[in-house]
């Protein structure tokens, strides 16, 4: 009898256990999307700038202009760990030439270059300019010491018939034309020799040419070699914006990633300007990367290059890409222009005047919105949603 009672008790307990297990809530089998940022960072996930980390690792290929500070806040942010904390990995594709960078656009998702590369990319590859990264002033012109041109560059007679080495179709040419215009001359009054910026200095040192047009690291190297700076973009008032570009397909697929990377870039610009210590650290990393890429830069030149850097802060960036006003040149009347369009058109109009581009190119760039505020607007929305000051 006791055995039967024990059996009945055990059977009853098993039946209750099976019934309870059968009432458990099933575990969902569909995972939430992981390619977008999480809604809000937890306290443990709080990032340096308050941006939201991606829940899944993201990779962004960056066309990187070595030897010019216009690209380097991406690298500085990487060194500081800002991209790692956002779960983003940057893969760098280095270039020293804007047009070559545009030709290799399949190798990158975003890329940064000077004005010549921006114009080339919009015309030939329909890239979209989404950020201004620097306003280059160190686009410099040099003469040989002891020559009439070095001693009196305001005299037009000292310019006539001189031979100039510079990379044609670039902002170096635009700077030269600006200097010639100040004394009532044009490019037809001098002889031009087209050379890549690094080779131009080598050729000039070897005795070729009367004048030299180069920028940034190479400009300071020319100065240190004893050549006389007779003008530059800063002193001539020539606006030379550099920028970041991308392709429409990338914006369609990776808008959140691109906007986050651009936001980090401009917040890192602010980091550079915050203190002398930050500038010193940025300069060390700039020098280190130039040495790794085989660009001859002394510590003193690295300091001077970074001292001339004029990258927009976050608030400046958003203003440049959202502030609208009429085209002061009176050429485009279909709509108001954002400041980024106006700044880039200053250089583009020069290229048009020299026959490098056509007025139709200017019209198309504006009609098709190739100087594109969509990323800036996305960044602004993202910062507003997260309550981040800018």
> How confident is the model at residue 15, as a pLDDT?
40
**pLDDT, tens digit (0-9, with 9 covering 90-100), for 165-191:** 998 878 899 899 999 999 999 999 999
> How confident is the model at residue 24, as a pLDDT?
37
Percent of the chain exceeding pLDDT 90 equals 78
> Shortest CA distance to 146 belongs to which of 50, 228, 32, 229?
228
End-to-end CA distance of the chain: 83
- Segment 75-99 mean pLDDT: 96
Q: Lay out the sheet containing 241-246: strands in order across.
A: 88-95, 58-65, 110-113, 241-246, 128-135
Q: In angstroms, what CA-CA distances link 38 with 28, 35, 46, 96, 288?
A: 19, 9, 12, 37, 35
- Segment 40-56 mean pLDDT: 79
Taking the C-alpha atoms of residue 226 and residue 237, their distance in angstroms, rounded to an integer, is: 25
* β-strand pairing of 241-246 with 128-135: antiparallel
> How confident is the model at residue 37, as a pLDDT?
52
* Annotation: CATH topology of 139-236: D-Maltodextrin-Binding Protein; domain 2 (3.40.190)
> How confident is the model at residue 7, as a pLDDT?
41
**pLDDT, tens digit (0-9, with 9 covering 90-100), for 268-327:** 999 999 999 999 999 999 999 999 998 889 999 999 999 999 999 999 999 999 999 999
Is the model's pLDDT at 246 over the cut of 50?
A: yes
**pLDDT, tens digit (0-9, with 9 covering 90-100), for 93-111:** 999 888 899 999 999 999 9
Residue 50 DSSP SS3: coil
Q: What is the DSSP letter of 81?
A: T
Give the range among 27-36, 292-301, 371-380 with minimum mean pLDDT.
27-36
Higher pLDDT, 237 or 274: 274
- CATH 3.40.190.10 residue ranges for the chain: 49-135+240-386, 139-236
- Segment 346-367 mean pLDDT: 92
CATH 3.20.20.20: does it fit domain 49-135+240-386? no
Check: CB of residue 93 under 8 Å from CB of residue 63: yes
Taking the C-alpha atoms of residue 75 and residue 265, their distance in angstroms, rounded to an integer, is: 9
Helix axes 314-322, 339-353, angle to 10 degrees: 70
Is the model's pLDDT at 10 over the cut of 50?
A: no
Locus of tokens 């001339």: 308
Phi-psi region of 87 (alpha: psi -120 to 50; beta: other; left: phi over 0): left
Taking the C-alpha atoms of residue 146 and residue 143, their distance in angstroms, rounded to an integer, is: 9
Higher pLDDT, 59 or 42: 59
Q: In angstroms, what CA-CA distances link 24 with 14, 19, 29, 30?
A: 16, 9, 15, 18
- Positive/negative CA dihedral, 243, 214, 220, 308: negative
**pLDDT, tens digit (0-9, with 9 covering 90-100), for 209-232:** 999 999 989 999 999 999 999 999
Token pair belonging to 12: 């009853």
**pLDDT, tens digit (0-9, with 9 covering 90-100), for 52-65:** 999 999 999 999 99
Percent of the chain exceeding pLDDT 70 equals 88
């Amino acid at each position: 009898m006791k055995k039967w009672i024990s059996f009945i008790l055990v059977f009853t307990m098993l039946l209750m256990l099976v019934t309870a297990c059968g009432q458990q809530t099933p575990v969902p089998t569909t995972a939430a999307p992981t390619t977008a940022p999480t809604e809000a960072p937890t306290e443990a996930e709080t990032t340096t700038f308050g941006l939201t980390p991606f829940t899944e690792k993201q990779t962004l290929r960056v066309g990187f202009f070595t030897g010019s500070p216009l690209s380097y806040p991406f690298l500085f942010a990487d060194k500081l760990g800002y991209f790692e904390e956002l779960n983003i990995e940057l893969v760098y594709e280095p270039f020293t030439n804007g047009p070559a960078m545009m030709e290799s656009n399949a190798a990158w998702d975003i890329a940064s270059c000077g004005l010549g590369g921006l114009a080339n990319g919009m015309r030939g590859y329909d890239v979209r300019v989404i950020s201004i990264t620097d306003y280059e002033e160190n686009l410099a012109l040099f003469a040989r010491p002891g020559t009439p041109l070095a001693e009196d560059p305001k005299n037009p007679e000292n310019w006539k018939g001189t031979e100039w080495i510079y990379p044609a179709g670039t902002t170096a040419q635009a700077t030269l034309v600006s200097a010639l215009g100040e004394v009532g001359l044009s490019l037809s009054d001098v002889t031009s020799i087209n050379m890549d910026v690094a080779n131009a200095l080598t050729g000039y040192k070897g005795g070729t040419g009367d004048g030299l047009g180069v920028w940034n690291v190479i400009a300071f190297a020319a100065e240190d070699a004893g050549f006389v700076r007779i003008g530059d973009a800063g002193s001539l008032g020539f606006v030379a914006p550099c920028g970041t570009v991308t392709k429409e397909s990338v914006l369609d697929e990776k808008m959140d990633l691109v906007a986050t990377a651009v936001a980090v870039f401009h917040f890192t610009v602010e980091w550079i300007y915050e203190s002398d210590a930050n500038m010193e650290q940025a300069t060390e990393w700039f020098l280190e990367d130039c040495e790794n890429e085989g660009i001859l830069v002394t510590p003193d030149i690295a300091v001077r290059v970074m001292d001339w850097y004029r990258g927009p802060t976050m608030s400046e960036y958003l203003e440049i890409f959202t502030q609208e006003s009429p085209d002061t040149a009176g050429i485009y009347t279909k709509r108001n222009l954002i400041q980024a369009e106006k700044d880039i058109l200053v250089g583009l109009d020069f290229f048009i005047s020299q026959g490098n581009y056509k007025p139709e190119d200017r019209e198309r760039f504006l009609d098709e919105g190739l100087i594109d505020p969509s990323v800036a607007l996305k960044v602004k929305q993202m910062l507003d949603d997260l309550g981040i000051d800018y």
